[in-house]
């Protein structure tokens, strides 16, 4: 299916598919939620193993969280676009 066909169907059947944007964003937020949990968990493990690298690990953790949360924002914007 092409995007043009899906957009045309959405325009003609808008009353039938109003709630799918919220469902789509909910599904799009699952991946980043899991990703942030993994990033923070691994950072805690790294700090526990080498406390002297706490600042470096924390900085890298925040960068990882920012990039992972960007996926959730992209999912939110895609829900508004489509």
Counting every residue written for the chain, the total comes to: 82
Name the pTM for this structure. Answer: 0.65
Indicate if the pLDDT at residue 2 is higher than 70.
no
Residue 11 CB contacts under 8 Å (≥ 6 apart), including other chains: none
pLDDT, the chain, mean: 81
Asked whether residue 14 carries a pLDDT value surpassing 60, the answer given is: no
pLDDT recorded at residue 29: 79
Tell me which of 24-28, 56-60, 63-67 is least confident.
24-28
Mean pLDDT of 2-26: 66
For residue 42, the model assigns a pLDDT of 95
38 vs 75, more confident: 38
3-state secondary structure of 38: helix
* Residue 27 pLDDT greater than 70, yes or no: yes
Give exposure, 20-55, as e/b (b: 16+ Cβ within 10 Å).
eeeeebeebbeebeebbeebeeebeebbeeeeeeee
């Amino acid at each position: 299916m092409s995007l043009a066909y899906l957009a045309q169907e959405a325009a003609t059947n808008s009353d039938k598919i109003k709630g799918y944007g919220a469902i789509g964003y909910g599904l799009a937020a699952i991946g980043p939620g899991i990703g942030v949990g993994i990033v923070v968990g691994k950072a805690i493990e790294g700090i526990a193993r080498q406390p002297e690298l706490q600042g470096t690990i924390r900085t890298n953790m925040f960068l990882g969280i920012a990039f992972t949360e960007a996926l959730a924002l992209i999912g939110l914007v895609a829900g508004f676009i489509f």
